[in-house]
Structure formats: C-alpha cells, structure tokens
Amino acid sequence: MLSRRFVAAGFWGLPLFFLALAVAASQPPSPETVTVNWRTDYETARREARQSGKPLFVVFRCER
C-alpha cells in the first residue's frame, strides 16, 4: 500500500519537474556555455585543471 507521502511527492513532484523542464527549454543557452576550448597537451591541461580546481576530461580515441 502506498503511503500518503509517496503519493503527495508524486502528485507535486512530477508537475514541478515538467515546469522546470519547460522553463529551462524556453531559455536559449548563452554562448559562454557552449564554447569548448580543447587542450591537446596533456601535461599543460593537467596543470591548468589543478590550478583552476576543475576536473580534467580526457578522451582516448583510435584513428585509422
């Protein structure tokens, strides 16, 4: 049997989720959020990540 809290959370949570999704979709992304500056030198990128406190995202790929 479902508890009242679970039902209330579903009753209010789902519409609020869709409202937040609609608001986020109505605002276009700013150019700052879509700019990616890739680093090709691993050691330099690692040092920069350490200084800025940001994580390092590394992509390994194979080219033929």
What would the pLDDT profile of 20-63 be if each residue is shown by its tens digit? 888 877 777 666 666 778 888 999 999 999 999 999 988 888 87
Sorted by where each begins, the domain ranges of the chain are: 4-52
The pair of three-digit structure tokens given for residue 9, joined into one six-digit string: 């959370």
Asked whether 17 and 25 are in contact (CB, 8 A), the reply is no
- The DSSP output letter for 29 is P
**How many angstroms separate the CA atoms of 45 and 23, rounded?**
35
- The highest-confidence range among 6-10, 14-18, 21-25, 44-48, by mean pLDDT, is 44-48
